Amino acid sequence: MNKFSWYEAKSVEDALEQVNSTVSDELYQSSENATIFKSGGVDVFDWVKEGLLKPQMIVNIRNIPGLDKISYDPKKGLRIGSNVTLAEIGSDPEIKNQYLALHQAVNHAATPQLRNVSTLGGNIAQRNRCWYFRSADHNCYRKGGDRCFARHSKTGENENHAILDNGSCVSVHASSIATALMAFNANVVIVNAEGKQKTVPMDDFFVSAGEDMAMENILQAKEIITEIVLPPPSKNTKSSYIKQVARESYDWSLADVAVVMEVSGNTCKSASIVLGAAAPVPYRSVEAQQAIENKTINSENATAAAKAAMAKARPLSKNDYKVPLFVSTITQTILDIS
């Protein structure tokens, strides 16, 4: 691990004055005078310990006052500060009542210890967990190299990788919480160095590998996430989330699904269906949404929607198990709504 200095940011403006790089910039073209944000530090210190990131200075934004609040207003919705920990979100009674799928997603992420330190801003900005991307010995597309090691049909270890939108990089996004946030049509509030604030729908926050190989989200170096905002649910909103893992405790998702629906009796009036660990970024399945809208929520219609979601799946050499896994998980998540 290289030596770096530490800066304790006192405010958003103070942090933005210090920082000059994102983790994405540094992995792509590392410079010797990089200064980067650290919130919970779980992901940042992984990179630093592996020697893939060699910052000159780390700017600690974890203690900036005001970014650690949760507030709920039945008319305006839910606001979660970027420094709120996953543990705090997981134990909030209003979130459990009004945004059940988010409560479920958070409580199935990582471990209790990790949830105590991981923040929401850091969670959605963390980089993917492809072992080739995280290995100093593999200069893959994402780091400016000329190949995808995971894609190789014989030598590629691609069990955990993408089955949708996997034409270039085949990693899957690491945040399983983003799956639920996107299903609730959350917005990301970002402030830049000029103090300007923009509110970006979660659907536009993530950058597909086909659009830009170096990025997984739109964040620029001198930008900071301050809040995530979720619209208020109506009295007919219902939601559910399921995550499939190889081991019950602290494991990354193999397939996770969030469903948010407006219902009338047992009929789906509108649906928001998002898949995690399916594609390089959280994947909204418009096909599944259209297949279940204005239908009775029953086994037959839920299975038809799940199969529609998988129509464009292109599994790799070792992950075709994900297709039936997603079909059963989407079906069950929809049925859990009724």
> Where do contacts with ligand FAD occur on this chain (CB under 6 A)?
23, 36-44, 61, 82, 109-110, 114, 118-119, 121-123, 125-126, 174-177, 219, 224-225, 250, 252-253
Tell me the one-letter amino acid at 325. L
Least distance between ligand FAD and beta carbon 131 (Å): 13
Complete DSSP assignment for 118-157: -BHHHHHHPPP--TTTT-TT--BGGGT-SB-TTT-TTT--
Least distance between ligand FAD and beta carbon 39 (Å): 3
Least distance between ligand FAD and beta carbon 331 (Å): 22
Would you say 124 or 306 has its CB closer to ligand FAD?
124
Least distance between ligand FAD and beta carbon 53 (Å): 9
Would you say 38 or 284 has its CB closer to ligand FAD?
38
How far, in Å, CA of 269 to CA of 282, rounded? 23
Strand partners, 175: none
Rounded to a whole number of angstroms, the distance between the first and last alpha carbons of the chain is: 51
Would you say 109 or 213 has its CB closer to ligand FAD?
109
Least distance between ligand FAD and beta carbon 227 (Å): 9
Of 191, 177, 223, 185, the closest CA to residue 204 belongs to: 185
How far, in Å, CA of 168 to CA of 161, rounded? 12
Would you say 268 or 274 has its CB closer to ligand FAD?
274
Would you say 98 or 253 has its CB closer to ligand FAD?
253
Q: Report CA 81 to chain centroid distance, whole Å.
A: 16
Least distance between ligand FAD and beta carbon 28 (Å): 13
Tell me the one-letter amino acid at 8. E
Q: CB count, 10 Å around CB of 8?
A: 12
Least distance between ligand FAD and beta carbon 167 (Å): 24
- The residue number whose beta carbon is nearest to ligand FAD equals 122
Would you say 179 or 240 has its CB closer to ligand FAD?
179
Would you say 34 or 291 has its CB closer to ligand FAD?
34
Would you say 119 or 166 has its CB closer to ligand FAD?
119
How far, in Å, CA of 301 to CA of 306, rounded? 9
Least distance between ligand FAD and beta carbon 42 (Å): 3
Q: Where are the alpha helices (H) located in the chain, listed in sequence order?
A: 12-18, 23-28, 42-49, 86-90, 93-98, 100-107, 112-117, 120-125, 177-183, 202-205, 286-292, 299-309, 322-337
Task: Say if strands 255-264 and 237-244 run parallel, antiparallel, or are unpaired.
Answer: antiparallel
Helices H, strands E: what count in the chain? Answer: 13, 12
